[in-house]
Amino acid sequence: TVTAKQGEAASVELKPTGDAGGVYRITVFEELPGEGRRKVDPKAERLVYHTPSKQLILNAKPDKKLYVPGEQVTLSLSALDEKEQPAPAIVMVSVVDKSVITLADEKTYRTMPTHYFLTTEVRRPEDLEYADFLLSSHPKAAAALDLLLGTQGWRRFAEQKPEDFKKNHGAEADRLLATTGQTNKVTIDVLQHQAQKIQEEYTTQLAKLQEDQSKANQAFAAAQSDQRFTDEIAALKQRVVQLEEEHRAAEQRLADHKAFAARVAAAALPVAAVILLVLSGVTLVLAVRRDGLPRTLPRYALAAVCLFLGIGLLVLMPSLQPMAQENLLFAHAARDSQFTKPAGSEMSAAAAKTAEPMAHGGPTAPLAKAAPRFGGGPAEMKDPAKNMELFRAVDGKGEGAPGMPNGVARFHLNMAQNQVRPEAAPPMPAEKRLELLDATKEMEAGKEPLVRDKGMALARAFQPQVPGEKAKKALLEQERQQAGARRMLGAAPAFREEPGEDRKRVPNLRMKRAAGFGGGRMGGGGFGPAAAGLMPIVEPPPAPLVVREFAFHRSGGPSPERSMFADTVYWHPVLVLPGGRGQATFSLSDSVTGYETTVFGHTLDGRIGAFNNIIEARNLLALEPKLPIEVTASDKIDVPVSIANNTNEQRPVEMHVAATGLKLVGDANAQLVLGPDGRTRRVFRLQPDLVDGQGRVTIEGTTAPYQDRVTRTLTVVPDGFPIVNSRSDVLEGAAQQEVVLPETWIKGTLRCRLQVFPSTLADLQKGLEALLREPGGCFEQTSSSNYPNVLILNYLKESDQANAALKQRATELLASGYQRLVAFECEDPQNPRRRGYEWFGGKAAPHEALTAYGLLEFRDMAGVYNVDMQMVERTRNYLMSRKDGKGGFQRNPGAIDTFGRAPDDITNAYIVWALTESGKDDDIEKELATLAGQAKTSKDPYFIALVANSLINRARTGDGVALLKSVVAAQKEDGHLDAAQTSITGSGGRDLQIETTALAVLGWLKANRPGDFNAPIQKAVKWIGQQRGGYGGFGSTQSTILALKALIAFTRANKKTPEAGTLKLYAGDKMVGQQQFAAGVQDALVLDVPEAEKHLKPGKNVVRFEITGKNVFPYTLTSTYRTLKPASAEQCAVKLSTHLDRPQAVEGETVHLTVTVENAEDKGQGMAIAIIGLPSGLTLPEDMKQLKDYALLRNNGKEKGLIGAWEVRGRELVLYWRDLAPKQKIEVPLDLICQVPGEYTGPASRAYLYYNADHKHWVGPLKVTITAKVVFAIRPD
């Protein structure tokens, strides 16, 4: 406490206690007069920085000072405390090409100590640039830091008046209070979250199964009410009884025959043996009494034969006896009334009555047939279901079912309990089975105890006998696997070792009683922990922390040819240094560059530290060419090659250039002399000698004994405007299409391809490929491009198909797409929270319909991917909060896509459809009732189809069917439907027709009224199939997704497995290709017309194709080529122009490009897009600052920027606008850098409304000539 008089200064010395470092908040309070507890009022506040006393000194020392590209590096990592003693630490290590970091130019980048020590107290720390400088050892750093903190106190008084602080500073206050622990913590149980997710998934599946069962029951009840059904069932039952009687009679005859044969064999065999032996003796006596060998020889032979046969019968009798006993057993079983009564008899009915309540509701096989066959050896043991049926047929006291011998029941019960495997169990000897039959008869005579003993003895006799050592190994292996599984689940082990010298293994009896189970035996004699209601305690494991580690390794060390140019060569986010020491090993890429090594780390007692260093990779002779990644076929590329002599002496250098797919203009060789550490460059001109494909350039330099060789590839694309024509339909047997070609096209660009889609997977894969070809910079486009991956994984899951490669690809694409999707979640400018989705996210106000579409996809995605369910719930809550209480949803007044938005009724219908399509618990009954009333008078098939689908989703099928019938009336002759207004995305033209027709198909299929809707479904599906584009898509992203959903639903309702066959392709009368395919084929069948320009001519060309087998597949025939004339559509509402400020420039200069987009109509438009083709030698500035500024929202998210968003796809710059006002004209000035010298022509540019993509406005390609700058040889001196 200090007293300060007015106008005077008072000094106070503060000495922080403890080891805590970082920013301290110092607050001055005025002590208020009064009695009792002292009252203080905060008056002044500022921030100061205190250097922490505890330090973590990190180091990453490479094993060499200088490396060659591709060489292996070993980093020695160390962590020391402030006393330079080893400190156990956890570190993150990254090694990245420094040119990539320079390219990123991330001004707000900061190290971990700076982040934790400084930014938690700084206002808007995300805007603080070059923060690491403030904590550096630079002479001016301390003063700069003090000035910053002196202006950052902003008199918050956060601890003293937190409510006022939050009220005055909103999101910034919430963030500060969160970092200081002054907000309520929200604890998330990860395991409970996963359990809830699984429960939701299977609850949904159960509901669907229950719904299917309900429909099946209704259909069954309807059939039962039909007298024809009853009569047919009665006739079938009578026929079954008749056949069973015939079967039993045949079995009886066969049994009698076998029994007779068995008796005859049993009696005749000994007699025959005796007769043969006697005959042999008599013949031998007669032979001895005869004189002369010739006369007695036949008698000796006959005696030998009889003796052999007699002895043979005696030897074979023991092995033939069981066969005879088998026949006797079969005969006894066939005669036994307990086993041969029909299914409707008293015994079978009683047995079935006993077994049915315990058989999970399923029918029980007649014991009459199952029992006698059960003990017949391994073949009869293969069906565990039969074992368990017999097991269930024993009542709770362990007694047999009525009409079934107890001994037999108990024998089978024991067999079922012990789960005898067919490969382990020996066959049942026939005498044992006869003994079992005798036991049955003894039971009938009242000798039940003996029966039980025999039954249990017989059961034990059939347990598999394995040699001791083998059994021991098998049991140990089984126990080891079970123990491993228990460890993974965190469960208690099955056995534990008792203390002591012998360390005896005893069962682990750590058990608990399971709810819902009673004590004692279960279901007829089952014993053990499960039967007693005891279950092992399964302790949940901790939630795993999954991290990605990466180390670039090149087998064989450095290569003489440099062709691998990885940017990141090492990444380990959680590397533990237990003794303060560790190592990291990796290989450098082939780049001649420096690699920035970054290490962040912390100790368990709170020390944090950082380290940065550069690893240099240099060749003593280094070549570095500069090439574009893509060129046009007519381009001329001047390739600058930098040559560096990194030795300390003058050296002559010989160079050679070789190329594939490119021709060298000029000399391929060059000789030069470079001084010590000298640098220079040479320029080589290349020109593509192919129209379309991959070019390869290899540049080699030599100065004995050193050399360097670099290989780079680049893509060559054709000149001109791309023209894509496609025809789609259904192939059944044979079909043909006309391919109409213009008089001229750019030579070498004509392609013709037939694609046939035999399965849902083929449809989905081609749809995915088509969507990935399109721009995807907004939320809806990203969602739709990602949706096929969800559909693919769902289809694989539902159909139980094992396609590992497809599943992996879909999962990887889904993972990257999901990360992009969640980045579109909107930020609330006033609060630190996110809510809803919008075209481009950020601080823009959420778009209700797009949020509904996102919720639909996220809920579907949750079934195949680990989705953040908190985000899903947050999205749902936002959407439900937008209900207006009048049966609709509010439209955000802060939304910035003013023009082109869908009408209110369309928006409300789409939101309700998305909610009912993906969930059952959302309370939207009032909104659905309002829409149902509006739909009754609506003439818009798009709106009606949305409402009808929603009604059926909520079990109001009758109301939905009534609406869908009105949609049928609006269907055109070719099968399509025309919407009256627009769709939720502002679609128009063919895209809107596809969306409307697809929604109608989905509703008709859900209604399940074939009599009413089969004909319109067939027409609509055929029309949708005909709209498939050349790359597999159906117009825009939204129309493609809805079309795929409709086709999948149709295929699911009309399943048919493809037959094996052959696909043949004809150009005119000549067969140009064929492909055989197996039954059940899943992938698309693709045939190309080889050398299309030889087979197809200007004008009309007939292309025919045939398929064998009873296959009916959709197909698409596509022809593509390039032309010099633009193919603009007059109906396109958007006009585009592009202009460079000059056609010639020098390497390194900046040229200015002006892009002008204009709405040519007097009405507002929805999302517009312009794709600008850039010549290869021009590049955008590395920091993209200009485009970033153009896309920023103004006025705290309430006003649009010059553009909505942007993305770069190869040589194309894609610009987006949320909407366009009537007659609006937008000019976008852009700066481009002349990067690679040469003469270049860019791809053709175009603009269009994204959701009416059939109509585009094309403009001619940009052209530029870039002159190489003059560079002299450089020496350091």
Most confident region among 477-486, 513-522, 571-580 by mean pLDDT: 571-580
Domain count, the chain: 3
Same domain, 892 and 1039: yes
Tell me the CA distances in angstroms from 178 to 166, 183, 602, 826, one per residue in order. Answer: 11, 5, 22, 21
SS3 label, residue 473: helix
Q: Region 839-856: what's the mean pLDDT?
A: 88
Per-residue confidence (pLDDT) for residue 1036, from 0 to 100? 86
Task: Check whether 73 has a pLDDT greater than 60.
Answer: yes
Q: Where are the beta strands (DSSP E) in 1089-1133?
A: 1099-1107, 1112-1123
Per-residue confidence (pLDDT) for residue 346, from 0 to 100? 39
Task: Check whether 357 has a pLDDT greater than 60.
Answer: no
Task: Check whether 468 has a pLDDT greater than 70.
Answer: no
Task: Check whether 521 has a pLDDT greater than 60.
Answer: no
pLDDT tier at 190, thresholds 50, 70, 90? low
Between CA 984 and CA 1268 the distance in angstroms is: 51
Q: Region 235-239: what's the mean pLDDT?
A: 84
Same domain, 824 and 911: yes
Per-residue confidence (pLDDT) for residue 349, from 0 to 100? 38
Provide the 10 A C-beta neighbour count for residue 461.
Answer: 14
> What CATH number does the domain containing 1157 carry?
2.60.40.690
Model confidence over 423-466: pLDDT tens digits? 334 444 444 444 544 554 454 454 444 433 444 443 344 344 44
pLDDT tier at 247, thresholds 50, 70, 90? confident
Between CA 326 and CA 372 the distance in angstroms is: 12
Per-residue confidence (pLDDT) for residue 116, from 0 to 100? 84
Q: Region 1107-1111: what's the mean pLDDT?
A: 89
Per-residue confidence (pLDDT) for residue 530, from 0 to 100? 34
pLDDT tier at 544, thresholds 50, 70, 90? low
Same domain, 1146 and 1219: yes
Between CA 1192 and CA 1169 the distance in angstroms is: 17
Task: Check whether 1230 has a pLDDT greater than 90.
Answer: yes
Q: Has residue 1173 been placed in a domain?
A: yes
Q: Region 487-498: what's the mean pLDDT?
A: 43
Q: Has residue 92 been placed in a domain?
A: no
Domain boundary residue among 1057, 1087, 1112?
1057
The residues, ordered by sequence, that sit 6+ positions from 1110 with a Cβ below 8 Å of its Cβ are: 1059
* Greater model confidence, 798 or 245: 245
Between CA 1033 and CA 1025 the distance in angstroms is: 10
Task: Check whether 420 has a pLDDT greater than 80.
Answer: no
Same domain, 840 and 942: yes
Model confidence over 75-100: pLDDT tens digits? 999 999 999 999 999 999 999 998 88
Model confidence over 995-1052: pLDDT tens digits? 999 999 999 999 988 888 999 999 999 999 899 887 788 888 889 889 989 988 888 8
Same domain, 959 and 898: yes
Q: Region 344-359: what's the mean pLDDT?
A: 37
Strands 22-32 and 39-50: antiparallel
Per-residue confidence (pLDDT) for residue 400, from 0 to 100? 38
> What CATH number does the domain containing 941 carry?
1.50.10.20
CA 908 from chain center: how many Å? 31
The two tokens of residue 444 are 């009938």
Same domain, 845 and 933: yes
Q: Has residue 693 been placed in a domain?
A: yes
Task: Check whether 378 has a pLDDT greater than 70.
Answer: no
Q: In which domain, by residue range, is 680 found? A: 641-710
Q: What is the 3-state secondary structure (H, E, C) of 823-877?
A: CCEEECCCCCCEEEECCCCCCCCCCHHHHHHHHHHHHHHCCCCCCCHHHHHHHHH
Model confidence over 740-798: pLDDT tens digits? 999 889 999 999 999 999 887 788 787 778 777 777 788 888 888 888 888 888 887 77
Please count the helices (runs of H) and the strands (runs of E) in the chain: 29, 47
Closest to 709 (Cα-Cα) out of 565, 563, 557, 587: 563
Q: Has residue 396 been placed in a domain?
A: no
> What CATH number does the domain containing 706 carry?
2.60.40.10
pLDDT tier at 473, thresholds 50, 70, 90? low
Between CA 372 and CA 255 the distance in angstroms is: 14
- What pTM was computed for the model? 0.64
Between CA 279 and CA 274 the distance in angstroms is: 8
Task: Check whether 188 has a pLDDT greater than 60.
Answer: no
Q: Has residue 909 been placed in a domain?
A: yes
Mean pLDDT of the chain: 78
Cβ distance 581 to 77 under 8 Å?
yes
Handedness of CA 770, 776, 779, 781 (dihedral sign): negative
Tell me the CA distances in angstroms from 246 to 253, 256, 608, 728, one per residue in order. Answer: 11, 15, 89, 57
Same domain, 1037 and 1153: no
Between CA 833 and CA 777 the distance in angstroms is: 23
Q: Region 818-824: what's the mean pLDDT?
A: 89
Across 297-301, 568-572, 822-826, least confident range: 297-301
Per-residue confidence (pLDDT) for residue 957, from 0 to 100? 92
Same domain, 870 and 976: yes
Per-residue confidence (pLDDT) for residue 123, from 0 to 100? 72
CA 1065 from chain center: how many Å? 35
Cβ distance 549 to 555 under 8 Å?
no
Domain boundary residue among 675, 692, 710?
710
Between CA 1113 and CA 27 the distance in angstroms is: 78
Q: Region 852-869: what's the mean pLDDT?
A: 89
AA identity, residue 109: Y
Q: Region 1186-1191: what's the mean pLDDT?
A: 92
Most confident region among 247-261, 431-445, 490-504 by mean pLDDT: 247-261
Same domain, 928 and 988: yes
Same domain, 1037 and 1158: no
Same domain, 654 and 781: no
Per-residue confidence (pLDDT) for residue 438, from 0 to 100? 54
* Greater model confidence, 1206 or 129: 1206
Task: Check whether 287 has a pLDDT greater than 80.
Answer: no
Task: Check whether 314 has a pLDDT greater than 90.
Answer: no
Q: Region 907-933: what's the mean pLDDT?
A: 90
Per-residue confidence (pLDDT) for residue 122, from 0 to 100? 75
Task: Check whether 934 has a pLDDT greater than 90.
Answer: yes
Per-residue confidence (pLDDT) for residue 341, from 0 to 100? 41
The two tokens of residue 877 are 């809550």
Q: Has residue 180 been placed in a domain?
A: no
Q: Has residue 803 been placed in a domain?
A: yes
Same domain, 804 and 930: yes
Per-residue confidence (pLDDT) for residue 171, from 0 to 100? 64
End-to-end CA distance of the chain: 66
Q: Has residue 1176 been placed in a domain?
A: yes
Across 170-184, 569-583, 831-845, least confident range: 170-184
Q: Region 194-208: what's the mean pLDDT?
A: 70
Task: Check whether 343 has a pLDDT greater than 60.
Answer: no
Between CA 1225 and CA 1001 the distance in angstroms is: 40
Cβ distance 49 to 118 under 8 Å?
yes
Between CA 111 and CA 610 the distance in angstroms is: 7
Between CA 93 and CA 113 the distance in angstroms is: 15
The residues, ordered by sequence, that sit 6+ positions from 246 with a Cβ below 8 Å of its Cβ are: none
The two tokens of residue 684 are 């080589």
Closest to 505 (Cα-Cα) out of 472, 457, 465: 472
Between CA 1003 and CA 964 the distance in angstroms is: 7
Across 1-10, 71-80, 555-564, least confident range: 555-564
Task: Check whether 244 has a pLDDT greater than 90.
Answer: no
Per-residue confidence (pLDDT) for residue 428, from 0 to 100? 46
Neighbour-count burial of 22, counting CB atoms closer than 10 A to its CB (0-12 exposed, 13-18 middle, 19+ buried): middle
pLDDT tier at 321, thresholds 50, 70, 90? low
Provide the 10 A C-beta neighbour count for residue 692.
Answer: 15
Between CA 826 and CA 846 the distance in angstroms is: 6
Domain boundary residue among 1030, 1057, 1084?
1057
Q: What percent of the chain has pLDDT over 90?
A: 35
